[in-house]
Amino acid sequence: AQTVTQSQPEMSVQEAETVTLSCTYDTSESDYYLFWYKQPPSRQMILVIRQEAYKQQNATENRFSVNFQKAAKSFSLKISDSQLGDAAMYFCAYDPGNEKLTFGTGTRLTIIP
């Protein structure tokens, strides 16, 4: 069974600084998809970024970028120029292509003004 591990239950960062959230996963598949979702307090889950495993280039969305290391089964999220609105739970998710997402336990990100 696929597993997704987020080893950092909580992280904090000063506003305008950069923070990296870690995610590792376990799979025997060669083609799959990885996602980072953001869940603000009492608000719905929002897609942050998506990575296809067959693409070597790391995905980027504005201030958000990933470091995808396929051999190491690592998928970290870097948030640059952190803003107060980035405060949320961040979930890493894995999809082997059947669209059944497996989520990690999440990292709570606090932004310090």
Partner 1 sequence: DTGVSQDPRHKITKRGQNVTFRCDPISEHNRLYWYRQTLGQGPEFLTYFQNEAQLEKSRLLSDRFSAERPKGSFSTLEIQRTEQGDSAMYLCASSLSELAGLITDTQYFGPGTRLTVL
- Per-position DSSP letters for 10-22, written without gaps between them: EEEEETTS-EEE-
Burial of 107 (0-12, 13-18, 19+ CB in 10 A): buried
Tell me the closest approach of the beta carbon of residue 105 to partner 1, in angstroms.
5
What's the distance, Cα to Cα, between the start and end of the chain in Å?
A: 41
Please identify, using beta-carbon distances, which residue of 44 and 113 lies nearer to partner 1. Answer: 44
Tell me the closest approach of the beta carbon of residue 72 to partner 1, in angstroms.
21
Tell me the closest approach of the beta carbon of residue 18 to partner 1, in angstroms.
24
Please identify, using beta-carbon distances, which residue of 3 and 18 lies nearer to partner 1. Answer: 3
Q: Are 91 and 9 in contact (CB under 8 A)?
A: no
Tell me the closest approach of the beta carbon of residue 104 to partner 1, in angstroms.
5
The 10 Å Cβ neighbour count of residue 103 is: 14
Interacting residues with partner 1 (CB under 8 A): 4, 33, 35, 37, 43-47, 50, 91, 93, 95, 97-106
Please identify, using beta-carbon distances, which residue of 30 and 113 lies nearer to partner 1. Answer: 30
